[in-house]
Amino acid sequence: MTSTAVRPPAPSRLLPDDPLLRRLVLMSLVNTVGNGMFATVGVLFFTRSVGLTPGGVALGLTAAGVCGMLAGVPMGRLADRIGSKRLLLVTGPLEALAVLGYAFVHSFAAFVALACVATVLERGSSAVRSALIARALPAESQVRARAVLRSVANAGFVLGSGGAALALQADSYRGYVAVLAVDAVTFLGATVLLAGLPAPEGPAARGAAATDTTGEATTTDAARRTALRDGRYLLVTGLHGLLELQHAVLNVGLPLWAVLATDAPAAVIGAVNVLNCLLVVVFQVRASRGVADTGTAARACLRGALLLAAGSLAYAAAQYGSAALAVGVLLVGALVHSLGELLTSAGGWTLSLELADARSHGEYQGVFLSGQAAAHVIGPLAISLTVLDHGGVGWVVLAAVFAVAGAAMPAAVRDRARITRGLAPKHS
């Protein structure tokens, strides 16, 4: 629970009062700074220093994305068996080794193989971390905690991207390898912080009694559900996966559209990225307020989906008018889009937790995050088949997809009795 000790107000704004959440925040910050550095220089390193073609890098990363999409469920199940913390203490150093391994890649085949291994570890670890948070923090603070962590993650990513500027300026093999080394160190640093985390382990949590949808206690395995056979959970995962196409819109569709179909200068792309990051850092926690159960979460997803649809329509309108008008319309669209992202993220976290069997959080979080990963893999293709092939009509189609997926979410969870999280040990 949140500490009751009196603290000066200024420090409490920088880090959460809860010591457990504070450690999770520090872990996230350390890790995402390294990830931001690597993401900024990765493609240039592979093409300019390793010698791969841009097409080869894209193909390898796509293959890695498919492999990562399949990693969530088995890694989640393993976390349910041996404990999330114990598994992350192993995967953290392995991720560090995988990143360092890129320094020794000199062929396309080696690149694809290592990228697949690294992405499997990354996506699998994301599912395990989500299960760790679900077990470690009290139910009533879950959504706010995830909002705080997402804000910190975006801030860390921005810091890491800025920190990679020296390597980009040098544009040398040694400079890029130095970034790889720093990224590897951040994985190890996050693992060291994790080692001191007093998080409950999976087997211990499963050993406790659970509560069914009627509010009565059940024994350990009597009513255990399996995520891959939970039709409602799979439906919600699929609907939220459609909403996750927003990331391909922002990262692929909007940049290409702005350059190829509008009179806006290319610099607007950077302004859009800054705007999106700042909104997530500043407002993600606020956007999560009031999202406390399946009903409020589904409605948050609906509101967010309608905002995503409105943003898509704004992007379509940017092709008409002067350069100044196009810039204004694109920025307004990005603002509306980002607000939609905040709401759909908060709603998705809550649904992924509330609809899961508390004794199998690893598996359930693995399924939900695999749905997100699938959207990230097919997102560029979806953008190509809609926006890039059909222009404004394609934006309208995407807007309809967002609106329909959002409208279906409340129906998907309607009449679902709230599933109480298992009686895993809570911090008191």
Q: Residue length, the chain? A: 428
What is the per-residue pLDDT for 12?
39
Provide the percentage of residues in the chain whose pLDDT is more than 90. Answer: 66
CA 394 to mean position of chain CA atoms:
25
What is the per-residue pLDDT for 199?
59
**For the segment 311-325, what is each residue's pLDDT rounded down to a tens digit?**
999 999 999 989 999
Residue 197: CB atoms within 10 A of its CB come to 17
Lookup result for tokens 């080696």: 110
**Which residue in 130, 178, 149, 126 sits closest to 29, CA to CA?**
149
70, burial (CB in 10 Å: exposed 0-12, middle 13-18, buried 19+):
middle
- Give, as one character, the DSSP assignment of residue 356: S
Letter string b/e over residues 250-283, b meaning 16 or more CB atoms within 10 A of that residue's CB: bbbbbbebbeebbebeeebbeebbeebbebbbee
3 state DSSP class of 123: helix
185, burial (CB in 10 Å: exposed 0-12, middle 13-18, buried 19+):
middle
**Which residue in 145, 35, 33, 171 sits closest to 95, CA to CA?**
35
Residue 15 C-beta-side C-alpha neighbours within 13 Å = 15
pTM over 0.85: no
Cα–Cα distance between 411 and 50 in angstroms, integer?
50
**Which residue in 103, 85, 354 sits closest to 211, CA to CA?**
354
3 state DSSP class of 217: strand
What is the per-residue pLDDT for 124?
93
Task: Give the pair of three-digit tokens for residue 288.
Answer: 């999560």
Domains and CATH numbers, the chain: 17-207 (1.20.1250.20), 211-413 (1.20.1250.20)
Contacts of 80 (CB under 8 A, 6+ apart): 131, 202, 206, 359, 360, 361, 362, 363
- Give, as one character, the DSSP assignment of residue 425: -
Cα–Cα distance between 301 and 406 in angstroms, integer?
6
Contacts of 378 (CB under 8 A, 6+ apart): none
Asked whether residue 133 carries a pLDDT value surpassing 80, the answer given is yes
Residue 392: CB atoms within 10 A of its CB come to 17
Contacts of 343 (CB under 8 A, 6+ apart): 287, 300, 301, 303, 304, 307
Asked whether residue 57 carries a pLDDT value surpassing 60, the answer given is yes
Cα–Cα distance between 24 and 103 in angstroms, integer?
29
**For the segment 84-102, what is each residue's pLDDT rounded down to a tens digit?**
999 999 999 999 999 999 9
Beta bridge partners of 210: 218
Provide the percentage of residues in the chain whose pLDDT is more than 70. Answer: 87
CA 215 to mean position of chain CA atoms:
32
Lookup result for tokens 């790889």: 180
Average pLDDT of the residues in 406-420: 75
Contacts of 123 (CB under 8 A, 6+ apart): 68, 69, 71, 72, 75, 369, 370, 373
Q: What is the mean pLDDT of the chain?
A: 86
**For the segment 144-193, what is each residue's pLDDT rounded down to a tens digit?**
888 999 999 999 998 998 888 888 888 889 999 999 999 999 999 999 99
For CA atoms 102, 108, 112, 117, the dihedral sign is negative
Residue 177: CB atoms within 10 A of its CB come to 17
Average pLDDT of the residues in 279-303: 92
What is the per-residue pLDDT for 222?
45
Would you say 312 and 249 are in contact if contact means Cβ atoms under 8 Å apart?
A: yes
